[in-house]
Structure 1
Amino acid sequence: MGSEPSIHGEMLLEMFIGKRPTDGMFKESLNLHNYVKMNLPETVANAADPRLLQYGGEGATSINYRHPDHRHASSYEIQECLISLFGIGLACSQETPSERLDTSDILAKLLVVRNKFMETGGIHEQRSRIGIQS
């Protein structure tokens, strides 16, 4: 629509997929926003930067992160976290500026994800609170 994309959304998506908007895979109508959107929620791990994930036995994913209770995050917990983070990134990178989140909303939603992930590891019940549809 002639407006500049949101730097917040682009950076968030770049950080978690490990690709820049100028990556060679983005041609024609495929861009960072559309790439993440088409992988949500079912194939979110495919869109994530593989350096964030380690693939273990039976295709399970885990991350080099331990919760305060010294357990590794489960693949479900990681998937739910990525879905929420990508959802926030998508909401920040909407084409129309009036549809984008403002900075204070971005921070509040990121804190909800962080706090829920740190507390219990799973964030399924928080998706609706931060505007992510199942």
Structure 2
Amino acid sequence: MRSVTYSLALGLLAGVATSKTFKYAIPAGTKATEGCTLPGEFEISDLTVFTDNVDNTKNMASFHFTDVDTGIDTFCQRNSTSKSASPGTAQRWPCDNPNVEFIYQTSGIPGLTLIEKACPEK
């Protein structure tokens, strides 16, 4: 199993931000092993981000992740009750489909980093 990591920088940390759709295509020249469907592109829709400048435990991000190539269609959310899928400073937050996780960045360049497992059956 491999994972493909996508970065999507979003300057959306002031108050509440929403958007309809963001699209990303994997760079040309990326190759998959035989019998594996490599994620080619994905869409992020219904993105909602809320940042509380006083109490960061109220911060939340939610969105819908769709990858037509792999058939993944899942909801992703991080809020005060969410449990990280990985320890460390760059915590990965699980989506409803366990093959997709994301990192919600609030420092440095704010945005989302999306991780989709490629060929989870391998």
Q: What is the TM-score with the length of structure 1 in the denominator? A: 0.24
Q: What is the TM-score with the length of structure 2 in the denominator? A: 0.25
Query: Relative to total residues, which structure has the larger strand share, 1 or 2?
Result: 2
